Structure 1
Amino acid sequence: MSVDNRRTARKAVTGDSAPREIRRRPKNRRAQIAAASAAAFGSLGYHGVSMEDIASGLGISSAALYRHYPSKYALFREELLRVGKAMTESVEVGADGEPSAPRERLRQVIDALVGATIENRPSITLVRWEGRYLDEADRQTLDEQQLSVLDALGDRIGELRPELTENDRRVLRATMLSVITSIADHHATLPTKALVRLLGSACLAIADAPLPPAEKTAEVPVVVEIPDSFKHELLLRKAVELFHDRGYPNVSVEEIATAAGLSAASAVYRFYRGKSDLLAAAFRRAAERVSGAIGPAVAAAPNPEAALTDLISHYVDGSFAERALTFVYYTEFQHVPVEERTALRNIQRLSVEEWARLLREVRPELSPAEARFLVHAAFALVVDLGRSFDSAPFAAQARVRLLMQVVLFGRPAAE
């Protein structure tokens, strides 16, 4: 403890064994609490953290923590809206400081947003995936903040490409924001300048993307019907749908049983050990869907670009067919049983490494880390466009496939 944060009281009585140390509360205690809670929420999610966890991490009592914040929700709310505000402010460039060329104006906004995202990387994951746990009024504030960011990107895209329709601009701006904020979905590292350059180049390639014509009608994924007798599979599907709609912590085994047509929660345990076992099964299925496609694609393709193009199509097809599973895969990992996490992480890591290896054969100028960042960004844009636009014709599979290609290759794939 520094001298500034302590003072020593005089001995009250001759013969006291030692002077008594009186601790002063640090002047930046509130900022320390905010930083510690942001790290905890970012790692474990809103429901995975308690006030006692945050207090323990800071070496203070729960009572001391409650003197600064009345509840865990107050901490959570403050951090999400702080980060949302930081992102909004980053794109508010004054007219006097803007370049005149449309491409440079877009690049200026992109670089500013990338910088704010890197600076707040541990908490960006909260904005991406945990905002649904905000109260309605706070969630509306966060949505307005995000819309301001999207509007800034969309305005610059419109200046650069005035021929685009409003829906085209919406797709491109959402893709850019997804690529930038995807750095919160993983722990790969790059020096800041290199990361700004990489994400900026990817976003400019997105701005130039030659979007295929929008579909005339919405795509309706074919859902395979599960007979009532296949309770094991039916339970898994219904659990994933509920986790997607309400979040894993807010779903009970009883509700899963009811959704699957079972008379009692106890019937679930004939098929799964519990709710967490259902979540682990969902994660294994999502991870193996990606990993299992790699070998056949590489074996059948004449070159790495063709293999990656096939993998992109497979990934988009699977994600559109199982939207809820794809979303749950991104949002609920902290709730997977601890004993399952290592195996799942290994499957995820190996899949990303294989995609990155193929990408570096197409683009040898990329470092291994840069290739991994782009692979994560390509994966993220699929789930982000899905939750933003669902099955809207202007965000159909053909467009999503092309945007994945542009993020990875810097251009559409070769015919």
Structure 2
Amino acid sequence: MLADVGYGAVTAEPAAAATRPRNRRQLIVEAAGQVFSERGYHAASMEEIAARVGISAAALYRHFPNKYALFAESATVMVDRLAEAADESPADAPLTEVLAAIIRVTVAHRASGGLYRWEARYLERDDRRRLRARFDHVVARVTEVVRREFPLPEEHLRAVAALGAIGSVTMHHTSVAQRRIEELLLASALRVVATDPAAAAGSARLVELPAQPVPRTRRAEILAAAIPLFARDGFANVTNAQIARAVGLAPSAIYRHYPGKVDILVAACLQAAGLLAQAVDRSLHAAADPRRAVAALAATYVAYSFEHNALNSVAEAEVAGLPADLQRPVILAQREHIAVWEQQLRLARPELDPRQARLLVHAGFGVVVEAGRALRWQDEPGHRDAVTALVIGALSV
């Protein structure tokens, strides 16, 4: 969930009139990563990035020929840093050391580090493959150490999930002291890799999700057709003509039901929030104590993420690009969902303060995203159970 859309400020200092910093290209890439993360690739502008660095747009173009070139470098720089961090430890280094190095890099570059997670889908094929190869290298390094220290089933899945817990800190800006963030993420990641994915066997059978509404009106049909297109191609790449074609309408007919394409996206985000809220209410109704409540929340969120994957991915990936006035109700709904998790987690773990609990909740969401991707979102009870166990491990309940 992206309840706190955007990232903490890491602002490059403007160059003095007569001095050109030697690391200007690095400052540009850092600022661009932040702007792309906050605004999304298509909504971000070169002028906005230049202003963040304190230079003119013309000066920016002396370093990068166009927005895509800057985007491609910004999207890959964090993964390159992670790969370097994973490789700097000796081959026989303990897992704690390897994960700690990855966490330090992730937290230090938190403001721009999450760009690859959603916006990288706008990379061209070759750039996307290079990004994937670098991330796979990091996963392989962690998997190797996990296999050695925690010889349990699904070591690759556990490694990916641990990295998801760590990477979650780039997807929100909950404020916690840096050292405490690193401690919490390390403890969470270590618990993930020490979790047997079979620990929550049968949890999938206990979840009853509300069904996605059957489209009975033309407006609902348009929404149902748009969601998979947005999920597959990205909101900015989908046209009204494509949506209309999927429903059997002329493109102009879309405007009788939605003022614009962005209003379809808002409807999708609110539908996702509504379905999740209903699912949470059902899951907590029968929970006997806080620990069971957290486990029920985990199983429900995992089930929802698998069953409504297209809808959920659209709601999470595209909300940053919404105009502020349209973004507000979506953000409010997401924050309300996180508040439920935070309350139950603090009841189960009273030693956590609200911000620490919130950070761990996001770590649990990060586990779902990366583990689900590793499983290609194949919706099977065994997959739901395994990811649920890893989420519960990340939260230490």
Please list the CA deviations of residues 80-139 of structure 1 after superposition, one character each: whole Å capped at 9, or x if unmatched. 22211100010113438x55xxxxx11111111111111111222111112222222221
**8 Å contact kept, 1:298–1:304:** no
Task: Work out the CA distance in 2 between the residues paired with 1:302 and 1:5.
Answer: 62
TM-score between the two structures when normalised by the length of structure 2: 0.87
Using a 3 Å threshold, how does the CA distance of structure 1 residues 141 and 185 change in structure 2: closer, same or farther? same
Name the amino acid aligned to 2:226: A
Using a 3 Å threshold, how does the CA distance of structure 1 residues 29 and 329 change in structure 2: closer, same or farther? same
Q: How far does residue 373 in structure 1 lie from its aligned partner after superposition?
A: 0.9
Counterpart in the other structure of 1:171:
157
Picking from 113, 135, 157, the partner of 1:146 is 135
Q: How far does residue 222 in structure 1 lie from its aligned partner after superposition?
A: 11
**8 Å contact kept, 2:30–2:112:** no
Picking from 115, 128, 139, the partner of 2:117 is 128
The unaligned stretches of length 5 or more in structure 1 are: 7-22, 100-104
Picking from 247, 250, 253, the partner of 1:260 is 247
Counterpart in the other structure of 1:17:
none
The answer to whether residue 391 in structure 2 is matched with residue 396 in structure 1 is: no
Task: Work out the CA distance in 1 between the residues paired with 2:297 and 2:48.
Answer: 42
Please list the CA deviations of residues 16-68 of structure 1 after superposition, one character each: whole Å capped at 9, or x if unmatched. xxxxxxx4544443333223222211211211112122223344332222112
Relative contact order higher in (CA < 8 Å, ≥ 6 apart): 2
Counterpart in the other structure of 2:126:
137
Counterpart in the other structure of 1:107:
96
Counterpart in the other structure of 2:84:
89
Name the amino acid aligned to 2:100: D
The answer to whether residue 302 in structure 2 is matched with residue 316 in structure 1 is: yes
Task: Work out the CA distance in 2 between the residues paired with 1:225 and 1:365.
Answer: 38
Task: Work out the CA distance in 1 between the residues paired with 2:114 and 2:146.
Answer: 25
The answer to whether residue 394 in structure 2 is matched with residue 407 in structure 1 is: yes
Picking from 37, 44, 47, the partner of 2:39 is 44
Identity of aligned residues (%): 33
For structure 1, which segment, 70-79 or 55-64, has the greater mean C-alpha deviation from structure 2 after superposition?
A: 55-64
The answer to whether residue 108 in structure 2 is matched with residue 119 in structure 1 is: yes
Number of residue-to-residue matches in the alignment = 378
Counterpart in the other structure of 1:339:
325
Q: How far does residue 298 in structure 1 lie from its aligned partner after superposition?
A: 4.0
**8 Å contact kept, 1:226–1:234:** no
Please list the CA deviations of residues 223-253 of structure 1 after superposition, one character each: whole Å capped at 9, or x if unmatched. 9798775322222122110111011100011
In our comparison, the structure showing a higher alpha carbon Rg is: 1
Picking from 217, 222, 229, the partner of 1:230 is 217
Counterpart in the other structure of 1:274:
260
Name the amino acid aligned to 1:156: V
Task: Work out the CA distance in 2 between the residues paired with 1:33 and 1:224.
Answer: 46
Picking from 56, 59, 65, the partner of 1:64 is 59
For structure 1, which segment, 324-333 or 244-253, has the greater mean C-alpha deviation from structure 2 after superposition?
A: 324-333
**8 Å contact kept, 2:89–2:97:** no
Please list the CA deviations of residues 127-172 of structure 1 after superposition, one character each: whole Å capped at 9, or x if unmatched. 11122222222211111110011001100111023353xxx11211
**8 Å contact kept, 1:214–1:396:** no
The answer to whether residue 244 in structure 2 is matched with residue 243 in structure 1 is: no
Picking from 306, 311, 322, the partner of 2:292 is 306
Q: How far does residue 295 in structure 1 lie from its aligned partner after superposition?
A: 4.5
Using a 3 Å threshold, how does the CA distance of structure 1 residues 109 and 394 change in structure 2: closer, same or farther? farther
Q: How far does residue 279 in structure 1 lie from its aligned partner after superposition?
A: 0.6
Task: Work out the CA distance in 2 between the residues paired with 1:280 and 1:41.
Answer: 20
Using a 3 Å threshold, how does the CA distance of structure 1 residues 55 and 400 change in structure 2: closer, same or farther? same
Task: Work out the CA distance in 2 between the residues paired with 1:362 and 1:369.
Answer: 15
Using a 3 Å threshold, how does the CA distance of structure 1 residues 270 and 392 change in structure 2: closer, same or farther? closer
Please list the CA deviations of residues 259-288 of structure 1 after superposition, one character each: whole Å capped at 9, or x if unmatched. 1222x1122222222211111011112222
Name the amino acid aligned to 2:143: G
The 3-state SS of whatever aligns with 2:88 is coil
Q: How far does residue 180 in structure 1 lie from its aligned partner after superposition?
A: 0.6
**8 Å contact kept, 2:103–2:182:** yes
Task: Work out the CA distance in 1 between the residues paired with 2:280 and 2:217.
Answer: 29
Counterpart in the other structure of 2:8:
none
Name the amino acid aligned to 1:182: S
The unaligned stretches of length 5 or more in structure 2 are: 1-12
Using a 3 Å threshold, how does the CA distance of structure 1 residues 94 and 336 change in structure 2: closer, same or farther? closer
Counterpart in the other structure of 2:193:
207
Task: Work out the CA distance in 1 between the residues paired with 2:243 and 2:381.
Answer: 34
Name the amino acid aligned to 2:384: Q
**8 Å contact kept, 1:179–1:378:** yes
